[in-house]
């Protein structure tokens, strides 16, 4: 049997077994393991657990806020990588400090910062709020959730250092970063599974997507070890895509489906289509990502191997990747229609987070299909499109992953912290800067890459000045993303202290995550509010930015 | 002129739909940047834009690329985030 199919059969079998165990419990062992896990999550931390209060929602809040800071860091690293692609000696002065900045290394660092810093922290943070909400219980351990967030941040810092210098004092830095990262991932998974075990409520589909996102990555690693594909190039490629499909795609699908319904006030468009996303995510090969599985190979300390693709691997790989278009289309359509409800207009379009989710859902299909072309080209050995793999991966990060996770985080944070962002206007401005900068900047870079690829194929030796100019313009425009990240960060942090308070609790059902309050961000009609499912008792909460003129602060009361 | 008179003129001149200060500053910024680029191109045709080291000779050989303007902007952003965290947490 070939590597792809044998590994996938093990992956599918382990996933189904895990699902059955989660649904039915562990019988008499369940109570023992539950007690032991709770002990490991809190008491085993010793004095560390006393450092935090463990208030409700604090876990989600601290993960999301740290994710915002990583968003800024990843945008800056990507910008510098784009700049160095057209001006390789721009940072030559840093060589005096022994640092030789290379575009490829900066991109590598930016991917760690974006995927594990920003996207990863948004996914986990949002999940820590969404899953307990859907299960109608409190998170098993808020203290553990808060403490592990800082360890995760440390692991991302180690990974970024490792991306610049693989070995320091003979130690494999990326492997150390991965070990710390996995430790936290295990703690978060245990925390979430314990939360699930504490509830008797039926878990809605987005919740299952979040759970499969968490348990899918370790299952993928175990599967590749059992199948023996860990020392083959094709095994590395498959592992990379399984990790992308589970932790990233499945989790993102879960949190964005929940947030689309929660933010718009509309019922989830289709439970069946959401179910298609789950099945499609687990039983196909997601094409999104780079063609080179370097990141997975480095993180797991494997030795890189040349990819040798058998005919059977090629056929099965290409077929299962083509099938991945189904969950991608299902997710995109479910989010887009849920956001719109009964008409063609997005409900509550100016509420922070809604534009991001709408934008990310639009980008899913074109970039999913684009990634499919690049991957099948690579798998078939044609390698005509390998030159644009990096930019396509950057586009999927900045135009799908970050908008969808950031949008979900912006939706979840008010419920977790009890306050809205300081200004909805600033959040909207930040959205335009972030998404506009990413779209225009990366499309110009893509055009430049395609031009260079065409010239290279035509054996033209002189570089194109037009391509160089496009690359320059692309990097400068991408700076809007850095600014957008700064605006979002300051807006969200200030909102934690001075934002409008969230006054009502949410009412949940299996398919509708509608709040009993309707945050009004722009002028709208009563018909449109009623169309969202609001009833006569729904509270309309204006969340406009105040336009009142400022006044001097009174230091004391003057007697007249 | 009496104080009452000047007060009425002030009210008359006050626009009812003033744009927010952030938009005014944003538009002024964009207009200034465009004007600078046009004038620079007229005065120094074909020449690259100045970098930090050409404005401040003490940074010769260090900040000699345009990227440093952007990195300084990002550093200001980083301090803005840090400052927001510290000041919001300690504000009365």
Distance from CA of A62 to the nearest CA of B (A): 12
Chain A residues touching residue B91 (CB < 8 angstroms) = 497
Mean pLDDT for chain A overall: 86
Whole-number Å distance between alpha carbons of A357 and A259: 8
Model confidence band, residue A57 (pLDDT cutoffs 50, 70, 90): confident
| A128 compared with A522, residue with greater pLDDT | A128
Which of A16-20, A495-499, B45-49 is the least confident region? B45-49
Domain that holds residue B62: 50-92
List pLDDT tens digits, range A340-349: 877 777 777 7
Whole-number Å distance between alpha carbons of A530 and A21: 42
In this structure, the answer to whether residues B83 and B43 fall within a common structural domain is no
Residue to substitute from A419, A441, A468, A489, interface B, most B β-carbons within 10 A = A489
The answer to whether residue A421 scores a pLDDT higher than 80 is yes
Mean pLDDT of A85-100: 87
The answer to whether residue A553 scores a pLDDT higher than 60 is no
In this structure, the answer to whether residues B39 and B23 fall within a common structural domain is yes
Start-end of H helices in chain B: 3-13, 21-43, 52-55, 67-90
List pLDDT tens digits, range A198-239: 888 888 899 999 999 999 999 999 999 999 888 888 888 899
In this structure, the answer to whether residues B61 and B90 fall within a common structural domain is yes
Q: Is A100 helix (H, G, I), strand (E, B) or coil?
A: coil
How many structural domains does chain B have?
2
Which of A21-35, A167-181, A541-555, B78-92 is the least confident region? A541-555
- Joined together, the tokens standing for residue A6 give 């044998």
The answer to whether residue A5 scores a pLDDT higher than 70 is yes
Rg (alpha carbons) of chain A, rounded to whole number: 24
List pLDDT tens digits, range B21-33: 878 898 999 999 9
Chain B residues touching residue A87 (CB < 8 angstroms) = 65, 67
List pLDDT tens digits, range A233-257: 888 889 999 999 999 999 999 999 9
Model confidence band, residue A551 (pLDDT cutoffs 50, 70, 90): low
Mean pLDDT of A528-553: 64
Mean pLDDT of A132-151: 90
In this structure, the answer to whether residues B61 and B39 fall within a common structural domain is no
In this structure, the answer to whether residues B54 and B42 fall within a common structural domain is no
Check CB contact under 8 Å for A93 and B80: no
The answer to whether residue B1 scores a pLDDT higher than 50 is no
Chain A residues touching residue B64 (CB < 8 angstroms) = 93
pLDDT of residue A485: 96
pLDDT of residue B6: 60
Check CB contact under 8 Å for B20 and A490: no
In this structure, the answer to whether residues B28 and B12 fall within a common structural domain is yes
Model confidence band, residue A493 (pLDDT cutoffs 50, 70, 90): very high
- Contact in structure between A404 and A360 (CB atoms under 8 Å): yes
| A78 compared with A303, residue with greater pLDDT | A78
In this structure, the answer to whether residues B24 and B55 fall within a common structural domain is no
List pLDDT tens digits, range A391-416: 999 999 999 999 999 999 999 999 89
Distance from CA of A158 to the nearest CA of B (A): 20
Check CB contact under 8 Å for B70 and A79: yes
In this structure, the answer to whether residues B31 and B70 fall within a common structural domain is no
pLDDT of residue A19: 92
B positions 41-70 inside 8 Å of A (CB):
61-67, 70
The answer to whether residue A555 scores a pLDDT higher than 70 is no
Q: What is the DSSP letter of B76?
A: H
pLDDT of residue A549: 57
Chain B residues touching residue A485 (CB < 8 angstroms) = 77
In this structure, the answer to whether residues B43 and B56 fall within a common structural domain is no
pLDDT of residue A510: 46
Mean pLDDT of A292-306: 84
Model confidence band, residue A457 (pLDDT cutoffs 50, 70, 90): confident
The answer to whether residue A130 scores a pLDDT higher than 50 is yes
Phi and psi at residue A519, in whole multiples of 5°? -70, 110
Whole-number Å distance between alpha carbons of A338 and A343: 10
Mean pLDDT of A154-179: 92
ipTM exceeding the 0.95 mark: no
Q: How many CB atoms lie within 10 A of CB B16?
A: 4
In this structure, the answer to whether residues B60 and B22 fall within a common structural domain is no
Check CB contact under 8 Å for B20 and A547: yes
Q: Which of A170, A340, A353 is nearest to A256 (CA)?
A: A353
Task: Report the b/e string of A173-209 with b at 16+ CB within 10 A.
Answer: bbbbbbebbbebbebbbbbbbbbbbebeeebbbbbbb
pLDDT of residue A36: 78
Domains and CATH numbers, chain A: 3-49+58-542 (1.20.210.10)
The answer to whether residue A435 scores a pLDDT higher than 90 is yes
The answer to whether residue A550 scores a pLDDT higher than 70 is no
pLDDT of residue A177: 94
In this structure, the answer to whether residues B43 and B3 fall within a common structural domain is yes
Check CB contact under 8 Å for B81 and A490: yes
In this structure, the answer to whether residues B69 and B37 fall within a common structural domain is no
Model confidence band, residue A127 (pLDDT cutoffs 50, 70, 90): very high
Distance from CA of A423 to the nearest CA of B (A): 13
pLDDT of residue A264: 84
Contacts of A90 (CB under 8 A, 6+ apart): A83, A84, A101, B65, B66, B67
Q: CA distances (Å), A222 to each of A15, A82, A234, B62, in order?
A: 11, 36, 16, 49
Start-end of H helices in A341-461: 354-379, 389-396, 402-417, 424-457
Mean pLDDT of A16-27: 85
pLDDT of residue A558: 46
Chain B residue with CA closest to A74: the answer is: B74
């Amino acid at each position: 049997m070939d590597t792809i199919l044998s590994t996938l059969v093990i992956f599918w079998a382990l996933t189904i077994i895990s699902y059955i165990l989660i649904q039915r419990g562990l019988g008499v062992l369940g109570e023992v393991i539950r007690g032991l896990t709770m002990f490991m999550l809190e008491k085993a931390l010793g004095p560390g657990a006393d450092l935090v209060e463990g208030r409700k929602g604090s876990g989600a809040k601290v993960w999301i806020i740290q994710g915002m800071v990583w968003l800024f860091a990843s945008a800056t690293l990507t910008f510098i990588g784009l700049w160095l692609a057209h001006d390789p000696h721009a940072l030559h002065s840093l060589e005096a400090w022994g640092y030789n900045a290379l575009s490829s290394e900066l991109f590598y660092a930016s991917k760690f910062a974006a995927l594990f810093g920003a996207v990863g922290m948004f996914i986990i943070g949002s999940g820590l709020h969404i899953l307990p909400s859907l299960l109608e219980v409190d998170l098993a351990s808020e203290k553990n959730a808060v403490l592990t967030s800082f360890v995760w941040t440390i692991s991302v810092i180690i990974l970024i250092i490792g991306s610049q210098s693989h070995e320091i004092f003979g130690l494999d830095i990326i492997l150390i970063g991965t070990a710390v990262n996995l430790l936290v991932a295990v703690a978060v998974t245990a925390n979430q599974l314990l939360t699930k075990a504490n509830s008797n409520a039926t878990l809605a589909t987005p919740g299952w997507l979040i759970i499969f996102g968490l348990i899918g990555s370790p299952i993928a690693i175990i599967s590749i070890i059992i199948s023996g594909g860990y020392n083959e190039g094709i095994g590395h490629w498959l592992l990379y895509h399984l990790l992308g499909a589970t932790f990233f795609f499945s989790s993102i699908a879960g949190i964005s489906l929940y947030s689309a319904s929660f933010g718009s006030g509309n019922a989830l468009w289709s439970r069946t289509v959401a179910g298609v996303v789950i099945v499609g995510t687990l039983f196909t090969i997601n094409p999104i990502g780079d063609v080179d599985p370097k990141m997975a190979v480095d993180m797991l300390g494997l030795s890189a191997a040349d990819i040798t693709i058998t005919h059977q691997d090629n056929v099965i790989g290409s077929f299962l990747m083509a099938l991945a278009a189904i969950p991608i289309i299902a997710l995109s359509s479910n989010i887009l229609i849920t956001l719109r409800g009964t008409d063609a207009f997005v409900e509550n379009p100016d509420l922070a987070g809604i534009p991001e989710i709408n934008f990310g859902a639009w980008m899913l299909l074109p970039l999913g299909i684009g990634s499919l072309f690049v991957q099948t080209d690579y798998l078939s050995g044609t390698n005509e499109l390998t030159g644009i793999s990096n930019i396509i991966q950057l586009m999927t990060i900045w135009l799908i992953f970050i908008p969808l996770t950031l949008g979900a985080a912006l939706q979840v944070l008010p419920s977790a912290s009890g306050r809205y962002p300081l200004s909805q206007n600033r959040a909207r401005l930040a959205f335009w800067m972030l998404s506009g900068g990413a779209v225009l900047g990366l499309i110009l870079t893509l055009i430049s890459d395609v031009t260079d690829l065409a010239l290279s194929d035509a054996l033209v030796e002189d570089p194109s000045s037009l391509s160089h100019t496009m690359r320059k313009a692309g990097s400068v425009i991408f700076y809007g993303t850095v600014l957008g990240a700064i605006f979002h960060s300051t807006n969200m942090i200030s909102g934690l202290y001075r934002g409008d308070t969230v006054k009502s609790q949410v009412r949940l059902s299996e398919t509708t995550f509608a709040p009993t309050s309707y945050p009004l961000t722009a002028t709208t009609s009563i018909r449109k509010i009623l169309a969202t499912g609001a009833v006569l008792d729904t509270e309309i909460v204006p969340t406009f930015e105040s336009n009142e003129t400022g006044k001097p602060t009174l230091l004391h009361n003057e007697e007249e | 002129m009496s104080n009452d008179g000047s007060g009425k003129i002030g009210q008359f001149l006050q626009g009812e739909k003033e744009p927010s200060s952030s938009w005014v500053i944003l538009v002024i910024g964009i207009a200034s940047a465009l004007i600078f680029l046009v004038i620079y191109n007229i005065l120094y045709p074909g020449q690259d834009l100045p970098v930090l080291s050409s404005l401040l000779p003490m940074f010769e050989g260090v900040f000699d690329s345009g990227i440093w303007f952007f990195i300084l902007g990002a550093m200001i952003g980083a301090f803005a985030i840090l400052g927001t965290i510290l000041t919001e947490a300690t504000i009365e």
